[in-house]
Every structure is written in structure tokens, then in C-alpha cells.
Structure 1
Amino acid sequence: MTAAPDSIPARLARLGERPQSTVIVRCSGPVSAEGVTAAQLLDGCRRIADALRAAGVRAGDQAVVRTRDAYQLVAGVYALTSLGAVPVPAEPRAGVRRCLDEIAPGVFVGERLTHVARRALGWGRGHVRTALVTGRAFPGPAHLPGRHLPERHLPERHLPERHLPSAVPGGTGPAPWVPEPRSEDLATIAFTPGSSGRPEGMEDAHATLAGQLTALDAVLGIRADDVLFSCFLPFAALGPLLGVPTVVPQVDHLAPARTPSGHLVGPLLRHRATVLLGSSAVLGLIAGHCARHGLTLPSVRRVLSFGAPLRPRLAEALAKALPAGAEIVSVHGATGCLPVAAIDAERSGALRIQPPPGHSGTCLGRPLPGVDARVLDADATGLGEIAVAGPVVSPGRHVRPEGTGAARAEADGTPWYRTGDLGRLDEEGRLWYLGRKAHLVTGGEFTLTTEDIEATADTAAGVRRTALVGVGPAGRQRAVLCVEPERAARTDAVVSALRTVLRDHPHARRIGTVLFHPRFPADIRHDSRIDRARLAARAAQGVPQ
């Protein structure tokens, strides 16, 4: 069977056409780094695939993959794919046990300490039959902390664990054989961040993954001499498939915004990256480091921000560190449809595009080629739920048919995916974002979208970001504006600045209380999407009854 041009087998075959080219650079701290060639990566994939097969992993097996090492992640995911297994990236998050119980994985691949956590916290208990360790070999039961406990008190009955080959090989062995899958075959399961509720597993078929890679080709605009700097570890698995050398810095994956900024800027400069990809939280670290140390990023020609809408202030800060003509692009999407739309910030000003008269929100740009978007259940102003159709859309939620049905809509004979985002389409075909449907604030006489207020409030001097939340039962909520100030900003000065920018806002008078928080709770994946449920709970404690 001939591989489709955008399929994983076809892309891996193209990877092997330049065996000595560097495809991954994994960094440790601000200086240390190791390059991995295409030949080494493919050789490592084959070796890992052989070890997986010997351990009993078969086509169709769902395999959790949890490792912080870029090479081990990429080689492990490709090896599982070559066997027809289904890799399930597992991120550090609250509720990971519930997520794994839902998908019931039979295989668990992870670092030594991850297996300690798996045992102690019961991840995959009753489902995992094959445990595979990356990195150094896992200690036997006699070496486990708590070995003095009787067997009945151990957190989990001991599973035989095998050690996968983790060292980068010499690259002299053959590449793995990767059969061409059917387009409808399940390729991976990815969990949503859970910032709007319970995390959900989204199924990606091979056709979906091929569509997403094609769309990412368009967004990244990769050239022959480009070097991608990816501040999001899971994206490292896509970089080689996109045909671009990918530098992976040492990001704190438990709290990306707390990564030492030198761990980002040092490798970025050293490897002369041309395309920079990261969440707004991480890009803020890079912009701040450059400003404090008087540095510029002369090799960077394109920056892509994702995870949350890119604010003009951050775009302006990034622009000061970039060479003339560099592009700053805000990319919008979701776990179930990525990417959807993109907008070029045109250095420092275009993100200030004004909405049509009488409207509000943040412009997301036009849908990408091959992606269709429309607004469902729109009101008289055109505000409704953004729905997406096209090859980037996941077929459905894993083992939640009721959730899949609720997120689907039929229109004009086309199945549309409801994103849960509120927005409008303007006359030029651009999408405008108003926030999440689940985050509407509803009072007795008003309904407020979060982005309507926050896009304006975030421009106030001394404000890092704001979050509008509702306190009380739906329909009788009190609108509370939570403020995360910049460091050293005076509270009275910030309040005055907020009054100034919101003075002419038509809905600002609905804000009943302003509360300050030193740091908002946010999703672990990007550290950019605000955990509004937790913030609302905190706000409820500070709002007078």
C-alpha cells in the first residue's frame, strides 16, 4: 500500500532521506545540549519497537507515555505507532488517575519516578499489565521505599517491569518498518487541559493527525534552513514529522511559567533558532529576560503563541527583542481541533484590531486553509458558539459517546464540532473570541462574556492579567474581576488604571467587586489558561454577602 503524502509512515520515510541531519536537540539547563540525527532517531525507534514487541505490546494496545526526555518521548511514540499501538501522552495534572481509569490502558511507559507515582497513587490500577521503564532500570521490590511494609499494605501489587533502551544509539541500524494505517484507525488519545471542567480524552484518527500536520505546515511556514524552538514538550514529537530540526529546552512541565528564563534564552541564542513556539506564559519569560539583560533574538523570524489569546502588551514586548520584519502569530485551537485560526500581530499593533461597531472580543484571524468555522445558536448580535469542521477535527471523545454527541452538530450535511468557545464571524470572515461558554457570568439583569471585559482590563498599567468570574448561583451571580498585578505594582495605582481603561466600557458597571491575587491558578499544560473554577471559589471567600 502506498503511503498517503501526509501520513506518519510517509513523513518518517522522508525523515530517513537525510540520515545525518539533526532532527532533535534536547537541552539540559542553559548550556548543555545533545543533538540527535535522523539515523539515530530511526535506529532508536526500531530498537524500542523490538523491546516493546518482546514485552507483549501489540497493535491496538493503548499505551500511556510519560517522560520529560525529548528523545525518549519522540522515539517511544514513533515506536508505538510503528507497532500499531496507540500512544497516550499523560501530563502531570490533577485527576490523572481518573483520566487513566477512563481509558484503561494496558501499557505504561515512563521514567523510574513516574512508576513510583503510578504505584503509590494507583494510576492505571487494575488495567496496566505491561510496565516499561525509560532511563535507568527500576529498583526491585526490595529496594522500594517502604519495603518494610507487609505485602498487603503496599500501594499496588508489583508488576514485572522491563527496561526500554533509552540511550541514543549510533544510528547504524535500520529504520523501523511502519505499515500504512487505515485513515480511520485510532492514532492517539490526547486529554484536554480541563480548564473548563473535567479533562476529556479526545481520539485522533490517523486521518485527523495527518490533517493537523498539514495545517501546522501552513501555520509554521517552515523553510529549508529553519530551526524550530519548541517550548512545549509534546510538540517535540511533531517537529521531526514536519521536517524541521527541533530544539527542546528544559521547561518546568509542572509549572511552565516558573521555568528559569535562562534555560530558554540561552539555548534559543546558542542554536540560532528561527521559529519560536510557546505558550504566552513562556513567551513572557523570554521577552522579560531579553528586556532585563538588553538582549535581542537576531535569528528568530517567526514567533507562534498558543494556549491563550496573545495580548498586545506581550506582542509589543516580544517585538522589541526581534529583528525587523519578524512575525508574531497568535494561533487558536483546541485539543479536539488544532489548529483552527491564526492572526499575524504585524510586529506590535495588529492585535489591536478593533471589533465591528457595537461588538467586542479578540480577533483570532481567519480559519486556516481546509478548516471551516461557523457560529451556532447565534443571538441577535451574531454571538454564539464557534463550531469547526475539517480534517483537523477529532472523531470524538474516548468512551464518552454522550459527550461526543453533545459536541457535534449537523448543518448543511456537514458534521460540526462545537468548541465551547463563544464568538462571532465578521464580514471579512475573521473569527472573534469572547471566552468560553462555560465561563459566562450571569446576573439577574445581565450576561457577561469573559473576553469582553478582560481584553480591555488587561491593558491597564500594572496589570499582568485579569479574570472575570461569577460568584453565586447561575442567573444570580455577582461579577467579580480578579486581578493578577505586575510585580511591585501598587494596588491603588492599579485600581485607578482599571477605572481609566474601563470608564467607557458599556458593561463595566456590572462588575461588583475587584479582588487582587498574587498568582492565578492555571492549567499545567500551558500555564496560560486560567483555572476559573478555583479562582471563583477563592473569590467567593473574599466577596461580602
Structure 2
Amino acid sequence: MTTDGVGLSTLMARLARSRPDATALVRGRRDGSGQAVSYARLSTGCHAVAEALRAAGVRRGHKAVAMTGDPYELVAVVYGLLALGAVPVLVDPGLPRARLRACLDEVAPEVFIGEPLAHLARRVLRWAPGHVRTPLVTRRTLPGLGRAVPVVVPDAAGPALEVAEPGAEELAVIAFTSGSTGVPKGVEYRYGTLAGQVEALRAVLALDPGGVLLSGFLPLVLLGPALGVTTLSPALCHRAPARTSPEQLLRPLLEHRASVVAGSPAVLGLLAGHCVRHGLRLPSVDRVLSFGAPLRAGLAEAWGAVLRADAEVLSVYGATECLPVSAVTTRELAALRAAGHGAVSGTCVGRPVPGVEVRVLGADDTGVGEIAVAGRNVSPAYHARPRDTAHAKVATDRGLLHRTGDLGHLDGEGRLWFHGRASQRVTGDGFVLNTEDIETAADAAPGVRRTALVGLGPVGRQRAVLCVERERCGTKERRGAAAAVREILRGHPQGHHIRAVLIHPGFPTDIRHNSKIDRERLAAWAAKRAGDSA
């Protein structure tokens, strides 16, 4: 649904009629090549999937897990389910086994649609065994896994996807958080929520109709075709995006002349690093968007070396519950750094996107408090978690606010500054450290890729430890990284609280973006090492 009151499936059908031969989706292959699918063929394929699902017994209101790594299959299944009024359930297959099982037990899906490997895992690991009544396999299957519902690109255009328009408050999708900052929770998107996301993303992408988007960010693969842009979906391993070969990203970008590139810092770093090492330039790219974690200066500089001088690099802030919230260009970030802003006051994540309101709740005397967000793109509830919903959602006279659990402040220009997760603050004897306030400064040290602040011991008496991940650079820079960090900390107003600086071979990160640091695992590692270092 968009502001004119139509749903995603109807948008797809309209585009199939108005631009039937335009490319909607490019299905990436592991060698970097891709299969181009027109709007007419994509809409026909979604229609065929919807009819096959209906014949298999899928009905309005059924919750259906969609689990496949193939971008065409995922788009066709999700849009086919929406056409029937069923509710797609999206969850990361790479979650730890116990967490994934808990997610599926919690949502209690009647339907499970996926590739054969997903069904094998479902049977062996007993995912939602008492709930799934209709197992459907998207490709040729083994006996006993479920009914085959092949999801294939049609050879020619046929019937377009047509649906009755749902109400804005009807449940559309359940998308689980990654669990990188807590237990994964099922986020409910109503049709109105999807409408808000489409409009907010349209503003951030700033793509003209017919533009080309290279997406390493799964929500954009699903929403890109409805936005009316050619969506390139490279063959990323969504269980470990950072392991993707750079050629799998570069080849479709060059062949289809992508104008916008979107992904996590890990994915963007792969592509930019490859181009820098090989002296490659990307003249077609107008805009690069980083999702999932703060974009650091080093990555911004790498992109600056391969883009045109007038191209933009943006850091986009948001969450599964509210995507997107704000965005800032690296030019503005550089100007703020040059003016002396941000050295000890978190990371600027920009001004709210149109239609989104940001408030700071419970601010302290420095102006830092919890970031809360209102807007059409904000999810109204967690599925089957009334206590979490009650904690995170605040009814106000201007609509529903979502408490993000992130710390931040708004400056006099209306820009939002991110200070880290409230739950990840380090609280010691007489001091409180926000992760971003320390890390933003320490990350600027030569030879450092990124840093992570963790607290060891009980809250209120924690020992502050800074872990350092080094760049892949020369031996001299690598050896000097820890000393460079210590030098920065000596000049930082809160740096004297850091009791140890530890070199880590490679931070554990979240599954979805390979960019958010898993601080619980890192703290456990640091606890074993901190006694040997100072």
C-alpha cells in the first residue's frame, strides 16, 4: 500500500500493465551473472504461485514461513501469499538452532514454504512440528518433505497478479528481528506499515522510475519491484553476507549500470575494497546506502575513491520495527568532524526521513535519552509478545511511539545522534560509558578497522574493556594499532575509564548484516583475556 491506498500486489500488477517489458528483478547467480525478469513475467509468476498455494490449501489469515535463499522464489512466494491474504513469516535461517525453533514455535505457522534444504532442516531439527499442517517445497523434492509447488520464472507473460485491497490495519507480514541485541522477536507489519516503509524508502533511495538498484539488503529485494525500480539481487549468502565474493556484486552492477547500491557495511566494504585494490571506478552509481550498523569514516573514504565526485554515500539508521528512520550523507559527517562535532558525542545518523518523527525520552543533563520513533512505517506490535509490545509501544496524542532501546540526542539542527544501545552501556564505579561515544573516537586510530566497548563484571562495578579489530594493512600499522588507540583514549575525556585494550582477530557479528557486533560473545572472550593485558 502507498499513499494512494493500494497494496504491494496491486502495485506489481499496475507496473506489469504500464511497463510490461521493463526489468523488475535480476536473479543473481553465483558466477555473478543473472536472469532478468520483466514486470509482466514477475507478476505472472506471482499469480501462478498464488494459484498453486490456493490449490494446496493456503487460505486468508494462514501464517506461512517463507524460507528460501533464491530471490525470485522469495519475491514470488511473498507476493503470492499477500495476494491470498495469508501472512508471510520471515526469519533468518542462520539463527542458532534453539532460537530459530523458539521463533517458529512462538509464531505457530500453519504453512511452511521453502527450498528442499529448509524442509530437511525443519524435519531434522523439529521446527514447529505441532503447527505446520501444509509443508510446500519450491523445487523438486524428496519423498516425505512436502507437496511440490515449483516456483519458476514463466516463459511468457500471462495473467497478472490481481487481489482485493486489504485494510490498512490488517496483518500483512511477520518479520523476526535478528536477535543481535536480544531475543529475536516477531515484528508485525500491517498493510499500512508496508505502505509507510515503501514511501520512506522511496525518499531515501531517491530513484527515478526505471532506476537500477543493487540490493544486498533483503527487505529492499522484496520492496524494490513495488517501488518501480529494477532490483538486482546478487547471489548473497544471507546466512553470512560478508563471505560473498566481490565479483558476485561487481558483475551485475557493471552489466546493469546500477545507479544505487544498498547493503550493510560488511557487504559494502567487500565491494569498495575490491574496487580500490584493482583501481576500478563505478561511474554509474549515484548513491550508496549503508544499512544495519553505523558507517565509519574508513568505509566512506573507500567509496569516495571509486565513485564520481558528485555521487553520495549515506548512512541509514533504522530497525526492523521502524525502517528507515533517518539518513545522513558522508559529506555532512565529514563537515561535522571538521567543525569538531562528534568526537565524544556519538555518531550522527542524520535528520528523520519525511513522514517520520523522532523523540528522545528520559534525556539526562547531556540531552541523551532513549530514541523513540513515530510514523506510518512503525510496526504497531510484536507477535504473540504482549509484554514486549507494552514495553516498546507508547500511545501518545500524536500516534504510536516505538521505543528503540537505542540511546541518542537531537541537536539544534534537528539531527539525530546515536550513542549505542541502552542495554550495552558500561556502568562502573562512578562512571557510565556509552559505546558509541568511545568507539567513534577510537575507530579513527591508524590500522584500526573498528573497536567495541564491553563491560566485565556486575552492573555498577563493571570494568571497561575496549576490543580492537585491526585493518588488513601493513605490519607496522597493525602492530601500532593498540598504541594508537591508547593515545586517542588518553586525550578522550572518558578514556581514563578504559582498563584494557585487547586485539581481537575478528569480531563476532550478527547473522543478517555481519556488521552489528555480538557484544555478549565478545565480552565472554574479553573476560578470559583481560587478566593478561593492561
**Normalization by structure 1: what TM-score?**
0.93
Alignment of 1:397-416 (within 5 A): 397-412=382-397, 414-416=399-401
Which of the residues 486, 509, 514 maps onto 2:501? 514
- Measure how far apart 1:411 and its partner are: 4.4
Partner amino acid, structure 2, of 1:8 = L
User: Does residue 93 in structure 1 map to residue 78 in structure 2?
Assistant: no
Rounded Cα–Cα distance in structure 2 between residues aligned with 1:544 and 1:375: 38
Counterpart of 1:11 in structure 2 is 11
Give CA-to-partner distance per residue, 1:449-476, whole Å, 9 cap, x none.
Answer: 0000000111111111110000111111
Corresponding position of 1:84: 85
Alpha-carbon distance in 2 for matches of 1:6, 1:338: 20
1:184 partnered with 2:178: no
Residue 487 of structure 1, CA deviation: 2.4
Q: Which residue of 2 aligns with 1:140?
A: 143
Q: Is the 8 A contact 2:3 2:195 kept in 1?
A: no
More deviation in 452-461 or 245-254? 245-254
> How big is the alpha-carbon RMSD for the aligned residues of Structure 1 and Structure 2?
1.9
2:154 counterpart (154, 169, 174): 169
Question: For 1:2 and 1:199, how far apart are their aligned partners in 2?
Answer: 28
Task: Report the CA distance between 1:247 and its aligned residue.
Answer: 0.7
* Alpha carbons 2:210, 2:230 under 8 Å: kept: no
Describe the shift of the 1:463–1:64 C-alpha distance in structure 2 as closer, same or farther (beyond 3 A): same
Shift of 1:351: 6.5
Q: Does 1:126 align with 2:113?
A: no
The residue matched to 1:281 in structure 2 has which SS?
helix
1:98, CA displacement in angstroms? 1.0
Question: CA shift at 1:304, angstroms?
Answer: 0.6
**Cα distance in 1, alignment partners of residues 137 and 207 from structure 2:** 35
Structure 1 counterpart of 2:231: 246
DSSP-derived class of the 1:72 partner: helix
Match of 1:477 in 2: 462
Task: Check the 8 A contact 1:6/1:213 in 2, yes or no.
Answer: no
Is the 8 Å Cα contact of residues 323 and 377 (structure 2) preserved in structure 1?
A: yes
Q: Provide Cα deviations, 1:301-352, integer angstroms capped at 9, x if missing partner.
A: 1111110011111111101000120011111000100000000113983463
Give the residue type in structure 2 aligned to 1:140.
Answer: P
Query: SS at the partner of 2:305?
Result: helix
Matched ranges for 1:43-54 at <5 A: 43-54=44-55
| Comparing 73-82 and 345-354, the one that deviates more | 345-354
The C-alpha deviation readout for 1:196-253, integer Å capped at 9, x for no partner, is: 1111111010001101100011000111341100012342111101100011111122
2 CA distance for matches of 1:463 and 1:346? 22
**2:109 counterpart of 1:105:** yes
Note the residue ranges of structure 2 that are not aligned, 5 or more in a row: none
In structure 2, distance between residues paired with 1:266 and 1:323: 19
Is 1:329 the counterpart of 2:314? The answer is yes
SS at match of 1:184: coil
Q: For 1:42-441, what aligned pairs fall within 5 Å after superposition?
A: 42-91=43-92, 92-94=94-96, 95-135=99-139, 137-141=140-144, 161-346=146-331, 349-350=334-335, 352=337, 360-412=345-397, 414-441=399-426
The answer (yes or no) to whether the contact 2:347–2:419 under 8 Å persists in 1 is: yes
Determine the C-alpha separation between the residues in 2 that align with 1:410 and 1:166: 42
- The gaps in structure 1 that reach 5 residues or longer are 142-158
Which residue of 1 is the match for residue 524 of structure 2?
Answer: 537
Write out per-residue CA displacement over residues 105-128 of structure 1, whole angstroms, 9 at most, x where no aligned residue.
111111111111111111111111
| Separation of aligned partners in 2, 1:73 and 1:525 | 16
Please give the alpha-carbon distance, in whole angstroms, between the structure 1 residues aligned to 2:518 and 2:343. Answer: 29
Instruction: Give, in whole Å, the separation in 2 of the partners of 1:10 and 1:80.
Output: 13
The answer to whether the Cα contact below 8 Å between 2:281 and 2:307 also exists between their aligned partners in 1 is yes
How does the TM-score come out when normalised to structure 2?
0.95
Aligned-partner SS, 1:346: helix
- Whole-Å Cα distance in 1 between the matches of residues 306 and 2 of structure 2? 46
Alignment correspondent of 2:25: 24
Q: How far, CA to CA, are the matches of 2:78 and 2:213 in structure 1?
A: 19
Contact 2:372–2:403 (CA<8 Å) still a contact in 1?
Answer: yes
Percent identical among aligned pairs is 56
Provide the rounded CA distance (Å) in 2 between the counterparts of 1:357 and 1:458. Answer: 12
* SS at structure 2 position matched to 1:321: coil
Asked if the contact 2:76/2:151 (under 8 Å) is kept, the reply is no
Q: Distance in 2 between matches of 1:518 and 1:468?
A: 15
Residues 483 and 528 of structure 1, relative CA distance in 2, 3 Å threshold: same
Q: CA deviation at 1:359?
A: 5.8
